[in-house]
Amino acid sequence: MTPEVQKRIDDLVQQDKIVVFMKGSKLMPQCGFSNNVVQILNICGVPFTTFDVLSDPEVRQGIKEYSNWPTIPQVYLNGEFLGGSDILIELYQSGELQQMVEVALAS
């Protein structure tokens, strides 16, 4: 990953409390896993920003190196990598996600 791509990803991750790198947008997810993440965050009723990796091949590849996580979607909370679809589902089902999001939005 080039330093320029790393800087772009740094900026994107820091731009909001919750950022989702996904295929498509929150209004039009382009894969089932991305849709799962959008639905969970919508159920939580929290504001979040999305970045469509299909629109930018450098970020699509770079985000995988950035997080050391091979799949998309990827969720960032307060600039920290939280996980993908499966992890978000687990956190939501256990109630942990709601608590983590409340703390992040309050900070």
At CA 36, angle to CA 13 and CA 104, rounded to 5?
40
pLDDT of residue 21 exceeding 90, the answer is yes
Instruction: Note down the domain range covering 45.
Output: 3-106
Residue 56 belongs to a domain with what CATH number? 3.40.30.10
pLDDT at 106 over 90: no
pLDDT of residue 51: 97
Confidence of residue 107 (pLDDT cuts 50, 70, 90): confident
What six digits make up the tokens of 87?
């992890």
Element (H, E) at 29: none
- What are 24-76's pLDDT values in tens digits? 999 999 999 999 999 999 999 999 999 999 999 999 999 999 999 999 999 99
pLDDT > 90? residue 105: no
Percent of the chain with pLDDT over 90: 93
For the chain, what is the domain count?
1
Say if residue 77's pLDDT is above 90: yes
Q: Under a CB-based contact definition with an 8 Å cutoff, are residues 97 and 45 in contact?
A: no
What are the structure tokens assigned to 34, written together? 């991305």
DSSP 8-state secondary structure symbol assigned to residue 24:
B
Q: What is the pLDDT of residue 25?
A: 95
Give the mean pLDDT of 71-99. 95
What is the distance between the alpha carbons of residues 42 and 44, in angstroms, rounded to a whole number? Answer: 5
